[in-house]
């Protein structure tokens, strides 16, 4: 089971593609309206397609339990806050012993350091910087 | 001592002020521009602007040589992560974190961010101090060591009143460590020290022995 915390652009897209790929998917977000992102562009609603959705705050243990963290094999921390993601990812890893924890971190420096500590971090900012650098190099060479 | 305080709200600003007044070297870090500019008028070079959860901001403040990092922002995630990197990345020996929501205390503990100070818990402890449950007051709880230190006032007619320390029937796992007679200086008792009604005694004990202590010193339950 894949648990996605944060149904923003990144979280909702990853949740939808995971569901389409045949995984059981549960999404947790504090904003009930974020559910609309999960339905957008789909023929059937998120729940009708087999998805789960829970309204709750990421770092509340009760919310994580309601969203099914105890059964999660993959945990994805994709809220808009780096600090929330880094904390909730460590809760998933150290308290609930989720096998695979993947964290979205925008700050490159902390993405690197937490990766050294054993978290699987994904830093879109770092990827973006590298693409810009390559684009400039391609133009000037 | 060099202290970095992250968060320039009421707690952080007053903390920084007091530490500076006591002669400590302090850097306060505040991430909100207007608050920073206001505080800069007063603290001048002792405040820096920036997001205290970012590594370069902490490094600019000199976290490598900090003796103590205090994270007192209004955001528990921030406080936890600031203290975590201070301790694990920069090997800062002492950290103190503010816990805004007591429900998050478990997360501070999970990540080894200790001590975590919760205003709610402090007030609850004060209420317990003012309205003790067993006629005794918890002075110090050491949950990891499984020890407590309590204070109890000896009531008239209590089994312990008028007896020497060695004759008081205390359960295993408890020990009288101080006697505080009213109006006189406290002292560490010997076996033949007599405990009088009105004395306050400090007892170190294993958690859960409170009812036995109450039975010896204040069976008629001085409450309030």
Q: What is the dihedral of CA B3, B6, B7, B12, to 10 degrees?
A: -20
> What order do you get walking across the sheet with B147-153 strand by strand?
B136-142, B147-153, B200-205, B174-180
Tokens of B112: 């080894």
Q: Which residue of A has its CA nearest to B107?
A: A91
* pLDDT tier, B13 (very low <50, low <70, confident <90, very high otherwise): very high
* pLDDT tier, B131 (very low <50, low <70, confident <90, very high otherwise): low
Quick one: pLDDT at residue B134? Answer: 61
Q: How far away is chain B from the Cα of A83, in angstroms, using its nearest Cα?
A: 6
Answer with the residue of higher pLDDT: B34 or B145. B34
Quick one: pLDDT at residue B221? Answer: 55
Task: Tell me: pLDDT of B219 over 90.
Answer: no
Tokens of B27: 């850097």
Convert the pLDDT of each residue in B186-197 to its tens digit: 999 999 999 999
Nearest-angstrom CA–CA distance, B177 and B219: 20
Tokens 């023929």 sit on residue: A43
Asked if B81 lies within 8 A of A61 by C-beta distance, the reply is no
Nearest to A113 among B76, B89, B106 (CB): B89
Q: Are B67 and B25 in contact (CB under 8 A)?
A: no
Nearest to B110 among A83, A94, A107 (CB): A94
Nearest Cα residue to A67 out of A124, A6, A132, A139: A6
Convert the pLDDT of each residue in A7-21 to its tens digit: 999 999 999 999 999
* DSSP letters spanning chain A: -EEEE--SHHHHHHHHHHHHTT--EEEEES-GGGHHHHHTT-SS-TTTTT-EEEE--TT-HHHHHHTTGGG-SEEEE--S-HHHHHHHHHHHHHTS--SEEEEE---HHHHHHHHHTT-EEE-HHHHHHHHHHHHHHHHH-
| Interface-testing mutation among A86, A93, A111, with chain B (most B C-beta atoms within 10 A) | A86
Quick one: pLDDT at residue B211? Answer: 87
Task: Tell me: pLDDT of B223 over 50.
Answer: no
Q: How far away is chain A from the Cα of B22, in angstroms, using its nearest Cα?
A: 33
Q: Which residue of B has its CA nearest to A83?
A: B77
Asked if B106 lies within 8 A of A61 by C-beta distance, the reply is yes
Q: What is the dihedral of CA B130, B132, B138, B141, to 10 degrees?
A: -110
Quick one: pLDDT at residue A141? Answer: 81
Task: Tell me: pLDDT of B121 over 70.
Answer: yes
Convert the pLDDT of each residue in A78-95 to its tens digit: 999 999 999 999 999 999
Q: Nearest 5°: phi and psi at A100? A: -125, 115
Answer with the residue of higher pLDDT: B128 or B46. B46
Tokens 């910087």 sit on residue: A129
Task: Tell me: pLDDT of A5 over 80.
Answer: yes
Task: Tell me: pLDDT of B7 over 70.
Answer: yes
Query: Is B168 in a helix, a strand, or coil?
Result: coil
Average pLDDT over residues B169-177: 93
Nearest-angstrom CA–CA distance, B83 and B66: 12
Asked if A59 lies within 8 A of B107 by C-beta distance, the reply is yes
**What ipTM does this complex have?**
0.91
Average pLDDT over residues B87-108: 96
Tell me which residues of chain A, numbers 95 to 124, contact chain B at a CB-CB cutoff of 8 Å: 95, 107, 109-110, 113, 117
Quick one: pLDDT at residue B140? Answer: 81
Quick one: pLDDT at residue B224? Answer: 35
H or E stretch covering B80: helix B76-88
Q: Is the peptide bond before B37 cis (omega within 30 degrees of 0)?
A: no
Q: How far away is chain B from the Cα of A13, in angstroms, using its nearest Cα?
A: 25
Nearest to A87 among B77, B85, B103 (CB): B77
Nearest to A109 among B56, B80, B107 (CB): B56
Answer with the residue of higher pLDDT: A39 or B120. A39
Nearest Cα residue to B16 out of B53, B43, B35: B43
Asked if A90 lies within 8 A of B110 by C-beta distance, the reply is yes
Task: Tell me: pLDDT of A43 over 70.
Answer: yes
Q: Are A89 and A103 in contact (CB under 8 A)?
A: yes
- Considering only A8-12, B126-130, B172-176, which range has the smallest mean pLDDT? B126-130
């Amino acid at each position: 089971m894949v648990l996605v915390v944060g149904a923003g652009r990144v979280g909702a897209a990853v949740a939808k593609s995971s569901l389409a790929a045949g995984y059981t998917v549960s999404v947790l977000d504090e904003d009930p309206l974020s559910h609309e992102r999960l339905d957008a562009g789909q023929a059937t609603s998120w729940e009708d397609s087999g998805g789960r959705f829970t309204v709750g705050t990421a770092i509340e243990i009760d919310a994580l339990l309601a969203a099914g963290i105890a059964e999660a094999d993959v945990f994805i921390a994709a809220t808009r806050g780096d600090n929330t993601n880094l904390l909730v990812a460590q809760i998933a890893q150290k308290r609930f012993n989720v096998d695979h924890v993947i964290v979205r971190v925008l700050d490159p420096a902390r993405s690197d350091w937490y990766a050294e500590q054993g978290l699987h971090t994904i830093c879109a900012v770092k990827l973006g910087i590298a693409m810009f650098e390559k684009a400039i190099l391609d133009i000037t060479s | 001592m060099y202290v970095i305080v992250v968060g320039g709200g009421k707690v952080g600003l007053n903390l920084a002020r007091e530490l500076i007044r006591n002669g400590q070297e302090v850097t306060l870090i505040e991430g909100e521009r207007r608050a920073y500019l206001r505080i800069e008028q007063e603290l001048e070079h002792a405040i820096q602007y920036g997001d205290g959860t970012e590594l370069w901001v902490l490094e600019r403040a000199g976290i490598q040589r900090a003796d103590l990092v205090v994270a007192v922002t209004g955001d528990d995630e921030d406080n936890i992560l600031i203290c975590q990197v201070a301790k694990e990345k920069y090997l800062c020996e002492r950290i103190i974190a503010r816990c805004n929501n007591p429900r998050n205390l478990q997360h501070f503990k999970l990540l080894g961010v200790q001590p975590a100070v919760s205003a709610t818990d402090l007030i609850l402890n004060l209420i317990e101090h003012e309205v003790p449950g067993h006629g005794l007051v918890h002075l110090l709880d050491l949950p990891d060591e499984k020890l407590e230190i309590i204070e109890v006032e000896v009531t008239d007619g209590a089994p312990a009143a008028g007896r020497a320390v060695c004759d008081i029937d205390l359960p295993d796992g408890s020990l009288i460590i101080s006697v505080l007679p009213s109006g006189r200086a406290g002292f560490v008792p010997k076996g033949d020290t007599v405990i009088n009604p009105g004395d306050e005694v400090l007892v170190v004990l294993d958690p859960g022995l409170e009812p036995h202590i109450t039975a010896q010193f204040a069976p008629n339950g001085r409450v309030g």
